[in-house]
Structure 1
Amino acid sequence: MKIGILDFIPRDREMTAIESFKSAMNLLQLADEKGLARYWFAEHHSTPALLGSSPQVTLGYAAAITKHIRLGTGGVMLDNLSAYQLAENFKVLECLAPHRIEAGVGYSNAKEQADQKEMGGFDFKNPKPYKDELVALYDYMHDQRSVHQEGKARAMPVLFDHEIPYYVMVTSTRHVRYIAEQGWGMLFGLFLNPSYEECKEAIRIYRKYFKPNGISNSPHVMVSLYVISAYDENVLEGLEKAVDAWILTFRSNKRALYKLLSVEEAEFYPFSDEEKETIDHYQEAKLIASPKEIQAKFSHLMKELDCDEFLVVNQLSGYNYRRDLINILADIDL
């Protein structure tokens, strides 16, 4: 299986926060039962319609209620917590769920950093360079700072027998060569930057410059995108419009949206001409197909992009549709 899930933990209409988490855990267990490759949780803040504000905490619960599926963060933001704290969290999780934890990491944008400074007192006037943050977390996680540098803080527990896979999330070619030269995994967020061409260029650079690091010996790249599919093909248009409405809000005013639009509401959503242009721009962020067509579309896209796996953003409106999507994805053989 070369398909996994990236869960934002969305809140549907008429659903409480507690119900939203319960629904997400039910979907996780279904993905585990159906044999999907992995289930990652995203990190978002100050966004009422998305409840995944603490992915590492969520992973602890997720590990306790699943048996086989790999679990990860997509991703933790390096500017929100210290590399040392993140590393120890990952290492404890790995001890609780051996060989199942994956570390996906990223970085917030400038607006979110300003909000974090206001809420948490963080000082972003002299931030640590992103590359330094990436290296610090990797070193702490893989015991290179914990063991080999006397007088330095040691991230515990030390994992002598295996390592935690490390993926860096990107939305452009920036930092890609550096990521490759470090021997890390890469996740391209096509749902954020809907450009096949830039995605392909990032993957080309990554594969060209990848260097084994003694832990990761071959390049591994995933692509994350929205997927829209349903057993009832009559609802595909409504599901797509609901995702489109979310994309528009996520780009412009995500903090004002408290719950996802229902499929019925989305069917009559009054998109302006400007919004329709934006939606057209995001066509490559989405894979839309019936259950009969979906495997062929995934196979074609995998070949075109030259990626190894997909991480599906399951952002369909309505728990039943998100559940059905997991069942549909489970039947794909790539």
Structure 2
Amino acid sequence: MKISVLDQTQLLEGILAEEGFAQSVELAKYVDKLGYHRYWLSEHHSTDALAGSSPEILASHLLAKTDRIKVGTGGVMLPHYSAYKVAENFKVMSALAPDRVDIGVGRAPGGHHLSNIALQGERARNVDTFPKQIDQVLEYLEDRLSESHPLRGLLATPTIEKKPDLWILGTSNSSAFLAAEKGLPYAFAQFINYQPGGMDQALKLYVDHFRPSVYLDKPQVMVTMKVIVADTDKEAEKIAETALRFNYYLHRGQLTRLVAPEIALTHVRTPSEIQEIEAVKETYIIGSKETVAKKIKDLTTRLPIDELMAITPIYDFEKRKRSFELLMEAVSK
């Protein structure tokens, strides 16, 4: 099974965005050498907790800093943007790094209503246009505007040989069906939608309804989950508390910076709060290399998963790197 990384450029308490991006560069170079398949960047706006407001620019920078790993977006929130400009951005990246560029597109806002207004201005789009925008991006990428197209004769430049791979991102049955209908690879964000049975249902729908296309002859599924690996189960449980705190406040409408695990959950005291943390923990993959290897094997035996993308919000950067090292060893067993 292929193994990949999602980097949200989550910032630690007390550091500058510049330091956060420097860690992203170092991590991308590190997992490239470890043999990871992809390194994706997320898009978020108007928050001090996540620095990745322009994944296309960061992706381009990381392509120049790495040698082999595929780099892309997870994702570009397409309703904010012109499909034409998105296609041109990624064609430029693909010309610079052929066969190494992914474009993951989603319909979520990646922020709140004020950032939506700022991004879209008076052009505010209904998210129902998302399926049409996907078709538009593909037309521009493939240089195939029809003779009846209102913009026939328009080129999305540069003209390139190796096109970027387009993925549909989602957390619901509707996104799964859309990816299946268009014959495109599907990336399910389990770390966002971890409702019981939600992932199982969406992946089954995608596989059952998949229509072969010029892009893909059979279903291709990637699942993104929070994965925390350490040398022992006990250590993994402890360092996971940083990520669990982030989820605790996210459920309350707050995006927070990452803090040290020693203080992360000191405010969680009531039985209901403890139960909430334990429930969220069940949606993670946490443990030693041996424990994680078994959890991943159980998961991939049960579900049609071709690739696991790990999001690993660990406070200590060296322990974060160690987690990715151990995860690679776990899936290679």
Q: TM-score, normalised by structure 1?
A: 0.91
Structure with the larger RCO, 1 or 2 (CA within 8 Å, 6+ apart): 1
Change (3 A) 1:294 1:147: farther
Please report how far the alpha carbon of residue 178 of structure 1 lies from its aligned counterpart in structure 2 after TM superposition. 2.6
Change (3 A) 1:147 1:189: farther
In the other structure, the counterpart of 1:289 is 287
* Percent of aligned pairs with the same amino acid: 28
Q: Any idea what SS the aligned residue of 2:192 has?
A: coil
**Contact 1:73/1:102 (CA < 8 Å) preserved in 2?**
yes
Structure 1's unaligned 5+ residue stretches are none
In the other structure, the counterpart of 1:333 is 332
**Contact 2:169/2:186 (CA < 8 Å) preserved in 1?**
yes
**Contact 2:44/2:111 (CA < 8 Å) preserved in 1?**
no
In the other structure, the counterpart of 1:171 is 171
Q: Which moved more, 1:90-99 or 1:176-185?
A: 176-185
Q: Which moved more, 1:283-292 or 1:22-31?
A: 283-292
Change (3 A) 1:308 1:110: closer
**Contact 1:140/1:146 (CA < 8 Å) preserved in 2?**
no
In the other structure, the counterpart of 2:260 is 262
Q: How many residues align?
A: 331
| Cα distance between partner residues in 2 of 1:271 and 1:155 | 56
In the other structure, the counterpart of 1:158 is 159
Q: Residue by residue, what CA displacement relative to the aligned partner does 1:197-256 show, whole Å, maximum 9, x if unpaired?
A: 22111111111121221122221010101011112544323222221110122233334x
Q: Any idea what SS the aligned residue of 1:268 has?
A: coil
In the other structure, the counterpart of 2:117 is 117
In the other structure, the counterpart of 1:41 is 41
| Cα distance between partner residues in 1 of 2:325 and 2:148 | 46
**Contact 1:146/1:153 (CA < 8 Å) preserved in 2?**
no
Change (3 A) 1:119 1:42: closer
| Cα distance between partner residues in 1 of 2:306 and 2:66 | 24
| Cα distance between partner residues in 1 of 2:11 and 2:63 | 22
In the other structure, the counterpart of 1:54 is 54
Alignment of 1:4-153 (within 5 A): 4-109=4-109, 112-118=112-118, 121-124=121-124, 129-145=129-145, 149=149, 151=152, 153=154
Q: Any idea what SS the aligned residue of 1:134 has?
A: helix
| Cα distance between partner residues in 2 of 1:271 and 1:137 | 49
| Cα distance between partner residues in 1 of 2:76 and 2:296 | 27
Aligned residues: CA RMSD: 2.3
Change (3 A) 1:118 1:218: same
| Cα distance between partner residues in 2 of 1:184 and 1:17 | 34
Q: Any idea what SS the aligned residue of 1:87 has?
A: helix
